[in-house]
Structure 1
Amino acid sequence: MKIAVLGGSGLIGSQVVTILRDAGHEAVPLSPSTGVDLLTGQGLSDALAGAEVVVNLTNSPTFDDASPAFFRTTMDNLLAAAAHAGVGHAVVLSIVGVDQVPDLDYYRAKVLQEDLLKAGPVPYSIVRATQFFEFVEAILSWTADDTTVRLPSTPVQPMAAADVAQAVADVAMGAPLRGIRDVAGPDVFALDELGRITLAARGDQRTVTTDDSAGMFAAVSGDVLTAPDDAVIAPTGYRDWLGRQS
């Protein structure tokens, strides 16, 4: 089966391509470096010719109020080209709880992306994943100085990028869900606790201060970023993953 992977050279996309190829599929990574630009539509129609599935792992370059325009344009281009090429399944990666965080521009933009896919002409699947282990240190950096990292106590249930890639590949190889599959890591942490675990594992002497007004995730209320009851729970734990990074 030919599966086109937009964003196929990124953190998740490169791993999805490898998994699909190992399973015997013709996985084709698409990105500006291969002559395909989803934002302009350049090269898209030719790249989707003969594809049975398209996986969209592209992302907005910003998390601010410019992100909705990115997702509207790229989804319009993707759905038009996929329908013209006769693609039978479109897969998009989104975020667990994304529709329950209306105060974040980026989350509203991802909801728009989901809604455009649902209303489009191509049978679809949405994979919603929790925050990636690989992004935890970036999250810490948003509200850090030389001595202190300020983090809210927001509950999160992060997962390894490799497990995200496996979940996306599994869905891409199956029939369209015409709905959502949630995937999450095995453990729930308060974000400030996750920061302390991370700094300790890195030998970082900075102090984590609990500040429920600090950073992007301060806008999240309750446990909406943790796995719903029907979620697929990935196998890799954060502490085990951290131990393998040194």
Structure 2
Amino acid sequence: MKIVVVGGTGLIGSQVVALLRDRGHEAVVASPSKGVDTLTGEGLAQAFKGADVVVDVSNSPSFDAEPALDFFTRSAQNMFRAEEEAGVRHHVALSIVGVDQVPDYGYYQAKVAQEEAVRGSGVPYSIVRATQFFEFIAPVMDMSTEGTEVRLPSLRLRPIASADVAAAVAEAAQSEPSNGVRNIAGPEVHGLDRLGEITLAAKPDGRTVVTDETAGLFAGMPDVLTGDDTVDVASTRYEDWLKQH
């Protein structure tokens, strides 16, 4: 199959492309560096020509509400217009576990709008919702560092390796459209502050974790980001992943 991966140069997309090519598919990278701009529509018609499946793992360059909403909705409109013209028969989108239960966080609401666009597009689809990536923990810690203290709330997360997310997205791309949502998560639930402690125990750098419910990107978030008992659980543990990265 010809499978176009929008955002195919990013953390998830590059791994999806590699997995699909290993399975013998024609995986085409669509990104601004390849002359494809979903915001303007430039290059979409050519990239999607002859495609069976489009995988969207692109991300907004901003986490702020208005630019994120503009990115996801405008990109979706341009992609679905091009997909209809090209006869694409399956659209796979990557989203976030619990995304529709966080009404006060603008970036999550932008992702909800993206999901709504997918459902209303008329193109058969599959949505993969994942929890936060292991690779995201260290940057969150850096953003919350004050001197030698890493100030983090105790919000529960169930993080997952990006490789496991890429595998689920690639699997969806090779399967029939589900016209529904699959939730995936890592095997363990930890408070974000505890994840910080685990990280610094494995890679000490002189910082210590201070629990602060008002600090950082996840301050005030509702406890909905771990998923429920129906999530598909990946096998990679965070501590094991840290030893290899």
TM-score tier, shorter chain, comes to over 0.9
Q: How does 1:94-113 map to 2 (within 5 A)?
A: 94-113=95-114
Aligned to 1:6: 6
Shift of 1:225: 0.5
Aligned to 1:214: 215
1:68 has 2:69 as partner: yes
Conserved 8 A contact 1:4-1:48 = yes
Shift of 1:204: 2.0
Stretches of structure 1 that go unaligned for 5 or more consecutive residues are: none
Number of residue equivalences: 244
Q: Give distance in 2, aligned partners of 1:117 and 1:228.
A: 23
Aligned to 1:20: 20
In structure 1, the residue corresponding to 2:38 is in which secondary structure? coil
In structure 1, the residue corresponding to 2:122 is in which secondary structure? coil
Q: Give distance in 2, aligned partners of 1:60 and 1:112.
A: 13
Aligned alpha-carbon RMSD (Å): 0.9
If the length of structure 2 is used for normalisation, what is the TM-score? Answer: 0.98
Deviations 1:50-94 (A, max 9, x none): 101000111100000221011111000011110111100001100
Shift of 1:121: 1.6
Deviations 1:78-112 (A, max 9, x none): 11110111100001100000011111110010000
Aligned to 1:144: 145
Q: How does 1:227-238 map to 2 (within 5 A)?
A: 227-238=227-238
Q: How does 1:54-133 map to 2 (within 5 A)?
A: 54-65=54-65, 66-133=67-134
If the length of structure 1 is used for normalisation, what is the TM-score? Answer: 0.97
Query: Percent same amino acid at aligned positions?
Result: 56
Stretches of structure 2 that go unaligned for 5 or more consecutive residues are: none
In structure 1, the residue corresponding to 2:116 is in which secondary structure? helix
Q: Give distance in 2, aligned partners of 1:89 and 1:124.
A: 5
Q: Give distance in 2, aligned partners of 1:236 and 1:142.
A: 25
Shift of 1:228: 2.0
Runs of 4+ in 1 over 2 A off after TM superposition: none
Letter in 2 for 1:31: S
In structure 1, the residue corresponding to 2:219 is in which secondary structure? helix
